[in-house]
Structure 1
Amino acid sequence: MNKPILVLGICLSSLMSCGHEDQVPQKVLTAFHQKFPQAKDVEWELEKEDDMEWEAEFNVNDMEYSANFDPEGTWHETEHDIKFHEIPPIVISTIQHDFADSDFKKAEISETPKGQFYEIELIQGETEIELTLNDKGEITYKVTTLEEEEYEN
């Protein structure tokens, strides 16, 4: 494929998936502004893999968040990054017990209508482990993948 055409295609694809506030359904905007009245620097994206959910990325008190809503304005999830020391001791205990030979990579808090969850990424050798744990330290989701290698040109 011709390089300029490829670049144009990527740009157009990005524009179609990125929504400005005037492209977001009014029910979604209303629900978002009610739930996050202090949100600043809001950017919208249509998440096609999740049944057409709208995702807002925004800041509150200098912290970055993302929140997902369905087209009817029903809130599904809010996430934000946390540091290792912000993870509850019971969750850390499970990680240390079950994945003692792994290194911590990243953590997020995920708030949903079903409760609060901790999404943890670990590295174990060449394997990346993604975990979701509830506030009791129980693993509710686990997936392992080979870590992607970085290549230099």
Structure 2
Amino acid sequence: MKNTFLIGAFVLALFANTAMAQDLNKSQVPSVIVNNFQKSFPKAYDVEWELDGENYKVEFETGLLGADHDVWYNKTGALVRHKEEISKSDLPRKVLAKISADFGSYRVDDVKKITESGKVTYTLELKSISEDWKVAFDKEGTVLSKIAD
């Protein structure tokens, strides 16, 4: 019952976040934000801007394989959150060790590195024949959340 509630709350929060976002043209984004973005991510391509609540969100890709990024800037142009697609091999050793110890038979998928307020977390999907999990770890390999998927 508790897991069902948590999943429902997560889905509702995801939907509410999506419903609030408003697509923008680059010309509608304050120049301080565009300039900071271009300085931080000069090789970004396939760039899309949104107004997400009070923050400006930019979705883009980098690299030869097109790694996905989502970055949020506040109104003053400060980067407040960065979510980036990474490979399993880019996870910290302690996270990999925890996955191996506790989820050895699971396949790792959809790995993301999230940096917010100087704190880094890693989210990923762990899949087996019988169950799937969305799990968040800190850099030390501590499980921060585990939700049935």
TM-score for both structures, normalised by structure 2: 0.69
AA at the equivalent of 2:63? N
SS of 1:95's partner is: helix
Any gaps of 5 or more consecutive residues in structure 2? 1-18
Structure of greater Rg: 1
Moved over 6 A (4+): none
Partner of 1:57: 59
Asked whether the 8 Å contact 1:53–1:69 carries over to 2, the reply is: yes
Asked whether the 8 Å contact 1:111–1:117 carries over to 2, the reply is: yes
Asked whether the 8 Å contact 1:40–1:59 carries over to 2, the reply is: yes
SS of 2:96's partner is: helix
Asked whether the 8 Å contact 1:17–1:47 carries over to 2, the reply is: yes
Higher relative contact order (CA 8 A, sep 6+): 2
Asked whether the 8 Å contact 2:136–2:146 carries over to 1, the reply is: no
The structure 2 residue matched to 1:23, chosen from 28, 40, 57, is 28
Task: Mark the CA change 1:60 to 1:100 in structure 2 (over 3 Å): closer, same or farther.
Answer: closer
- Partners of 2:29 and 2:131 in 1: how far apart? 38
Partner of 2:4: none
Note the C-alpha offset of 1:21.
0.4
Summarize deviations over 1:39-62 as a string: whole Å, max 9, x none: 2231112223xxx32211123333
Across the two proteins, how many residue pairs are aligned to each other? 129
TM-score for both structures, normalised by structure 1: 0.67
Asked if 1:67 is matched to 2:71, the reply is yes
Partner of 1:36: 41
Superposition RMSD in Å: 2.7
Partner of 2:86: 82
